[in-house]
Chains A and B, each alone.
Chain A
Amino acid sequence: MAIIEASNLSMTYRLGDIDLHALSNLTLTIEKGEFVAVMGPSGSGKSTFMNILGCLDRPTGGTYVLDGQEVGDISRDDLAGIRNKKIGFVFQGFNLLPRTSALENVELPMLYAGLSQAERTKKAMAALKSVGLEGREHHHPNQLSGGQQQRVAIARALVNDAPIILADEPTGNLDTKTSNEIMELLVKLNNDENITVILVTHENDIAAYSRRVIRFVDGALVSDTRQEQRR
């Protein structure tokens, strides 16, 4: 079953008199449980693509169906609701709330989903345990290493049972060893929980963890290849 169906997606920014085509006529389908790496040079449109996939931005043309729901022109707040339920974000810079414990960071999506405090704590503890951070629930981000912070971010992405994780260069700020650990965690989630993982990366080593690589150049999809997953 296709979880992401994009057809003829395009994104045009107006800069004065010039139209800038950040994305043009992109058609792509991603099945549930896929592990996709998105590659391409800076300015190739992969960030725009990820923003649209993540419902942070709306395309100026084409249709985008996420998990059976057309999200082309729904309201800002409905988009927020979809982000909350369907998508877990993992960022290069971790984007955890400072001066806030790991536990509370992980509770955040459930706060906006309207869960009770007891439920939030229970599920957040479980999510932190599943990413191997048991015992560090009350540490603040500045008391955690980069790899640990990214694990907190992954726990936060998981905790609302989102079917998709969108990771924007999740290992960009990490050393090789930690990078591999984070990738192995994502692979494990992909295999065990059947979570669809889509990640942007510049590094072939990281892309090697995926089973499908798509490449962008100048706002267009130029290649879409499947490969054996590195384990």
Chain B
Amino acid sequence: MISFSSTFKLSFRALRVNKMRSALTMLGIIIGVGAVIAMLAVGTGASSQITEQISKMGSNMIMIVPGTTTAGGVRMGAGTQSTLTMDDAAAIQKECSAVSAVAPVHNGAAQVVSGHLNWSTGITGTTPGMLEVRDWPLSAGRPFTDQDVRSATKVCLLGQTVVDNLFGSADPLGQIIRIKKIPFTVIGVLGPKGQSPNGQDQDDTIYVPVTTAQKKLFGTTMPGMVRVIMVKAKSAADLAVAERQINDLLKQRHHIGPRQDNDFTVRNLTQMMQAAEQSSKVMTMLLGAIASVSLLVGGIGIMNIMLVSVTERTREIGIRMAIGAKTWDIRYQFIIEALTLSMIGGTAGIAIGLGGSKVLSMLAGWPTVVSVPSILLSFGFSGLIGIFFGYYPAYKASLLDPIDALRYE
């Protein structure tokens, strides 16, 4: 049996003889591998963006909103009834074991004034637990306390966008701002969080104690009413448990019978995000699959050229056989030749894929992440394609009759 390095040298020489043809054949594989890598990079980039957004939004988050009202047979939308209270929030905190933090929210929009600047933004009345629920650290100052909530003090935490619009580069800590003409002391600044998954600026907000929002800013239809309760489950695995515990607890607290509709809705935000993440993974696979088709087409190109090459070199094959080449010597030679074509093409394709991903993220602004497995996968795949599509021409060559092959003109 002829050695691997000798076979490799043979195939390299054969490919050098027809440089243009070899290069064009490789182009199919180069484009295929490049496309697979670039497409997977786009898909992976999209998924990782979503993952990043999940972590920005706060992980393992559950949102409870009030349920619907039915007025004379007309069902209103979710949240039209005010059924959630501060006591519900306190009960969830106390009784649901899978819950790590609870934050009741009473919110609204208001015009905010600081000196000669003003700004319209969302005001979120909440409890200190909110910062834990949203995984939201302060970049300056201190958070408000349970004491602030109990005594409804007029203190506030500003989102970065609000700071930028009301104070520019000045230090907002200790300053007084007016929300609906009521003076509030700025005691802290929320760290920048960026866009939410649906494109809202999460930094365009002001946090105040929930009681302050209820009593001084937005009022309530009944005492202690809140618009939303935000909950953080202890872990991703606890999400479903927490959801069930909250459902059971609120049903009991709101006296809802087995055949009655809930007057609240529990939304698992993380689950929604995970669904989005899942769908982006499916998209990644789809993109990869489409790109692999071009790799397959490249493989067919290799097969085509190898068949031409076998026919052209029939006489050479005859000479080799007459001199003592065995079936597998010939087969091996042509398989290695196809493999060399596809592997060189694969290597160049990796470079093209890396470059293409860079260009895509620069021109289209898509986040692209080139993963090492995607490189290994497409390179391995191109090798397999070389062997697969090289096998038939090699098989054909190895079965030639030496006498006929020698006579071939």
Contact = CB atoms under 8 A, between A and B. Distances in A.
Interface of A: 51, 54, 56-57, 76-77, 80-81, 83-85, 89, 91, 95-100, 108-109, 111-114, 117, 156, 160
Contacts of B402: 56
B152 interface: no
Contacts of A114: 1-3
B373 interface: no
A81 B2 CA distance: 12
Contacts of B406: 56, 91, 95
B17 A111 contact: no
A76 to B, nearest CB: 6
A112 B3 CA distance: 9
Contact of B323 (A57, A77, A108): A108
Contact of A97 (B3, B319, B321): B319
Centre residue among B1, B316, B321, B322 by max chain A CB count within 10 A:
B322
Given A95-B315, A95-B406, A108-B320, A80 B325 contact: yes
B329 interface: yes
B316 A97 contact: yes
Contacts, number: 61
A97 B324 CA distance: 14
Interface of B: 1-3, 6, 13, 17, 315-316, 318-329, 402-403, 406
A89 B321 CA distance: 11
A80 B316 contact: no
A1 B145 CA distance: 113
Given A57-B403, A99-B17, A156 B6 contact: no
Contacts of A76: 326-327
28 contacts: A51-B403, A54-B322, A56-B402, A57-B403, A76-B326, A76-B327, A77-B326, A80-B321, A80-B324, A80-B327, A81-B326, A84-B323, A85-B324, A91-B406, A95-B315, A95-B319, A96-B319, A97-B319, A108-B319, A108-B323, A112-B324, A112-B325, A112-B326, A112-B329, A114-B2, A117-B6, A156-B323, A160-B324
Contacts of B318: 95
B322 A77 contact: no
A111 B326 CA distance: 11
Contacts of B319: 95-97, 108
Given A80-B324, A83-B323, A112-B323, 4 more contacts: A84-B323, A89-B323, A111-B2, A114-B3
Contacts of A97: 316, 319
Given A81-B326, A89-B322, A97-B316, A112 B403 contact: no
Nearest to B327: A77
Nearest to B399: A76
Nearest to B318: A95
Contacts of B328: 77
Contacts of B13: 99-100
Contacts of A117: 6
Contact of B326 (A56, A80, A108): A80
A54 to B, nearest CB: 7
Nearest to A120: B6
A102 to B, nearest CB: 14
Given A51-B403, A97-B316, A111 B6 contact: yes
Given A56-B403, A97-B316, A112 B2 contact: yes
